[in-house]
Amino acid sequence: MTTITTFLCVTDSGYWITEPTARVVGLQTGGGNGLIWPGRGAATIATGLEDGPVRITVDARATEAPLDLEDWEEVIEVSIQFDTDEADLESLGGTVDEDPQETPLCAAGPGWYRVRLHARGRDRAAEIADLELDEEPVEEHLIQTWPAPQAPEIRHKMTDAYGAERRTW
């Protein structure tokens, strides 16, 4: 198990999980589950915050992570196929950390992974819209990954108003 926490400066209400071989287009995605839209080697993730820092913890495991719904407002699980072991978090704003760590999203190498994304604070972040980089983040995400065969999306929990709104776009 490898866990790191980083601060990503999101822009345009989102960021990506992506690897060098993936082609990611835009962040203006609506419908679906309102939180994450997977593709081959990539996923688009919607934040309530338009611009500013979001706290993101990546928890890469060899086997499925225990499911924790208690402290989270949205929890969605999807499959993503990675062609390399170089998937990372990307944002037009970059990282807030002066010395960013690599995120171990596909630490077990290429192949299919389950990605369980947890989010909290998106409603508050959407009210604020913009935060300066030196301000404390109001939105937090936990990304858990583990190697697993491709499987359908699971919507474990969907309770924030921002996600409900995005699902109607």
Rounded to whole angstroms, how far apart are CA atoms 82 and 68? 25
Rounded to whole angstroms, how far apart are CA atoms 112 and 70? 27
For the chain, the domain total comes to: 1
Relative to beta strand 36-39, strand 2-10 is unpaired
Q: Tokens representing 157?
A: 């929990």
Q: What is the CATH number of the domain that holds 141?
A: 2.60.34.30
Rounded to whole angstroms, how far apart are CA atoms 135 and 64? 34
pLDDT tens-place string over residues 3-50: 889 888 898 899 989 888 776 655 556 678 999 999 888 899 999 999
State the pLDDT at residue 47: 95
Cross-strand pairs, 78 = 115
pLDDT tens-place string over residues 76-127: 999 999 998 888 888 866 555 555 567 778 888 999 999 999 999 999 999 9
State the pLDDT at residue 145: 96
**Average of pLDDT values for 140-163?**
96
Q: Which domain does 150 fall in, by range?
A: 2-167
Question: E strand or H helix at 60, and its extent?
Answer: strand 52-60
